[in-house]
Amino acid sequence: MLYTWKLNPKRWRQILISYLFLPHILDSCYAWLPDTSSKVINALGQISSIKFTGNATHPDHFTVLNQDSNSIILGGRNTVYNLSVYDFAEHKEWRLTWLSSEAHSQLCQLKGKSEDDCQNYIRILVSLAPGLLLVCGTNSYKPLCRHYTLLNGRYKVEKELDGIGVCSYNPEHNNTAVQTNGQIFAATIADFSERDPVIYREPQRTELSDLKQLNAPNFVSSMPYGDYIFFFFRETAVEYINCGKIIYSRVARVCRDDKGGPHQFGDRWTSFLKARLNCSLPGEYPFYFDEIQSTSEIIEGKYGSDLSQQIIYGTLTTPSNAIGGSAICAYNMKDIIRVFEGSFKYQESMNSNWLPFPKEKVPEPRPGQCVRDSRILPESVVNFVKTHSLMEEAVPALFGQPILVRVSLQYRFTAITVDPQVLTTTDEKFDVLYVGTDDGRVLKIVNIPTNEGSAKAVVISENRLFPNGTPVKELKIAPGYGRVVVVSRDEVKLANFNHCSAAEHCQDCVALQDPHCAWDVRQSACVSVDAVSTLKRALIQDVSRGDGKKCWSPPTENKKVPTKVYDKSNDENEVIPEEKVTDSLLKTSDDDLECEDGLTGNRITGCAVRQHLVIYTAKTLHIVVVCASLAALLIGFIAGYLFSRRFHPQSHYPDAPFIEQHNHLDRLNGNPNGFLTPRANKAVNLVVNVPPSPPPKKDNLETKDLNIASDGTLQKIKKTYI
């Protein structure tokens, strides 16, 4: 066959026009691409990490029981593991094995639970005194605690105690416990049939099946603060009296020294109060993130004002049946305390509205206050607090709005942890947050408060650590910049989210806005600030703006490098030797595998796998997408052009078998004269109809995630949700 390329001027014009418009089409596509705002995106295996799998064949339901400057204690199936926080090597001599008795295990299976359920999942470990541990486990759906004492470097069982109200029956339940002065304050579910949620400290507890106190709660965290113990949880809202049900986030508190009420109230709290947490985008109809998933510890720092404040960060999400929206809200402890000093909420009768309780009718002394001896409180006060445990006002978020919002079809936020007040080379301090997702990612975020009383969180990196479908359940900060312990149900990883070395140029390094990274002028490298020795070096960093202009006018004077040594706990300012901080994880190494996966009998060994660091930046992704689209358009155009030549009525080959077929088809369709009548602009049509080819890497395709500005741009999402 012979083709002659005859192009008339009209056709040339069409081609030219479509080429002239191409960049504009691309531009508008580019502008529409939602701002994912993750500066670095890492796929599975691109993050250097060491993994610990414990028991490789059965579910472990891992949870972090305790952490100190050297070790991290994990609770798993029938076992307590003691791992080094530096290299995740197990201190096997400290491993504690506790199996359910044969009787308990059989009874559990008789009650219809599976073999995996009928194991002893260790949920609580606290040190009551030096050398004395309290350990609690689900014990085949019959919670049990044990005292272990240290004898010749080995733990010995001293006694067994009932674990009901302290530890959950079901390893999947979200319980929380905190210890102060040898007492355990716990929030859990205290019965086999899962109908009795409780906040408990022997012997005081919340009311049994009183929906106004606890209504199908999911406990998230607990912590001592001042005279109180605070509990964070989500529960079905009693005050929501419209149709259907809704879940709200709560903070509750009890007094540490609550001794219970007089007489028959001896085993009931006299100080249990709770309030709603408000995490919403302001507007005429605020958009709420109502379901708290996790909180950080209480953190002290300066947030937009000169005064030091104590705040707590939380991840809150939309309900699981709604569009996946996640937010990070911070709460000032002062605001929480203030709300507990405000009005109580009450409902006159079953169907009336919830209203603020008239101040003048509140009995004296003020219900819910911490008093020296609660056993001598008037009964009216004890009764009042029992029936009015909900506060009128919701705790407002710091700055009145979330510090970060993400809408994603792929994930929701789960766990959060904070590396507080990381010092920069310019003597500013920023909180670095790590947030897990329910699809196995960890986001590294920096919170940048502004002087105008708001905050802007910047996502530095988004890192896939577990395959899709594996939620991140817990996160803990490990010593060393960017190092975090990431817990999923069956696997725990010590990961390194220090991306400094991935930036090759000063601008890229500064643009990361990572307080952990700075551009070292002498070395011409993006370095981790904690890896720089105390030598005076010229370092360039701009966390608040990420402005690369500083790179053009390097500091003339050598700046003193902050010598912030990692201190995990506030009371222990232990100096960590430098070679420990910049350990093997930071170096590249050829021995990829350090894995003992030998299963010898019941002894299961941990497994450490080393992975290499490869980084794709959002910029690379965009270039790839744009190039791929361009290529697709070009191919489409050429194909379209060739086709249009083929179907042109003046074609030199009217009898081509190809066209005959079409004729035939059209006749079958009942159109005897049918023929695909060519139109002049066919080439253009075809071009427009070609879909852009997908970008090559699926893991990098994050375009479904919208990062919505807190001012107004939420409207679209809001409408869909409401």
Ligand X SMILES: *[C@@H]1O[C@H](CO)[C@@H](O)[C@H](O)[C@H]1NC(C)=O
**Binding site residues, ligand X, CB under 6 A:** 70-71, 73, 82, 91, 94, 172-174, 218, 278, 280, 282, 286, 293, 394, 396, 400
Amino acid at 600: T
Q: Are 368 and 340 in contact (CB under 8 A)?
A: yes
Element (H, E) at 643: helix 618-646
Phi and psi for 153 in degrees, rounded to 5?
A: 75, 10
Q: Are 620 and 42 in contact (CB under 8 A)?
A: no
Would you say 173 or 564 has its CB closer to ligand X? 173
For the chain, how far is it from start to end, CA to CA, in angstroms?
62
The strands making up 218-225's β-sheet, listed across from edge to edge, are 218-225, 228-236, 247-255, 273-276
In Å, how far are 271, 474, 476, 508 from 42, measured between CA atoms? 47, 20, 20, 16
Would you say 134 or 484 has its CB closer to ligand X? 134
Would you say 82 or 408 has its CB closer to ligand X? 82
Amino acid at 141: Y
- The number of beta carbons lying within 10 Å of the beta carbon of residue 35 is 11
DSSP type of residue 181: T
Buried b / exposed e along 588-613 (16+ C-beta atoms within 10 A): eeeeeebeeeeeeeeebbbbbbbbeb
Would you say 396 or 482 has its CB closer to ligand X? 396
Would you say 368 or 396 has its CB closer to ligand X? 396
Phi and psi for 671 in degrees, rounded to 5?
A: -120, 90
Smallest gap from Cβ 174 to ligand X, in A, equals 4
Smallest gap from Cβ 267 to ligand X, in A, equals 26
Would you say 172 or 597 has its CB closer to ligand X? 172
Distance of CA 277 to the CA centre of its chain: 18
Number of H helices, E strands in the chain: 10, 41
DSSP string, 58-92: S----EEEEE-SSEEEEE-BSEEEEEETTT--B-G
Would you say 70 or 343 has its CB closer to ligand X? 70
Smallest gap from Cβ 568 to ligand X, in A, equals 15
Smallest gap from Cβ 278 to ligand X, in A, equals 4
| Cis peptide bond upstream of 396, omega within 30 | no
Residue 277 and residue 297: Cα distance in Å, rounded? 16
Would you say 86 or 647 has its CB closer to ligand X? 86
Query: Over the Cα atoms of the chain, what is R_g?
Result: 31
Would you say 415 or 607 has its CB closer to ligand X? 415
Smallest gap from Cβ 172 to ligand X, in A, equals 5
Smallest gap from Cβ 71 to ligand X, in A, equals 4
Smallest gap from Cβ 63 to ligand X, in A, equals 12
Residue 709 and residue 716: Cα distance in Å, rounded? 12
- The number of beta carbons lying within 10 Å of the beta carbon of residue 373 is 9
Q: Count how many Cα atoms sit within 13 Å of the Cα of residue 275 in the half-sphere of its side chain.
A: 27
Smallest gap from Cβ 314 to ligand X, in A, equals 12
Amino acid at 280: S
Would you say 265 or 434 has its CB closer to ligand X? 434
- Of residues 342, 364, 351, 184, the one with CA closest to residue 276: 342
Smallest gap from Cβ 135 to ligand X, in A, equals 9
Would you say 73 or 407 has its CB closer to ligand X? 73
SS3 265: helix
Smallest gap from Cβ 396 to ligand X, in A, equals 6
Residue 567 and residue 23: Cα distance in Å, rounded? 52
Smallest gap from Cβ 473 to ligand X, in A, equals 8
Smallest gap from Cβ 57 to ligand X, in A, equals 23
Two structure tokens written together for 709 = 């500005």
Would you say 329 or 625 has its CB closer to ligand X? 329
Would you say 178 or 684 has its CB closer to ligand X? 178
Amino acid at 231: F
Smallest gap from Cβ 47 to ligand X, in A, equals 23
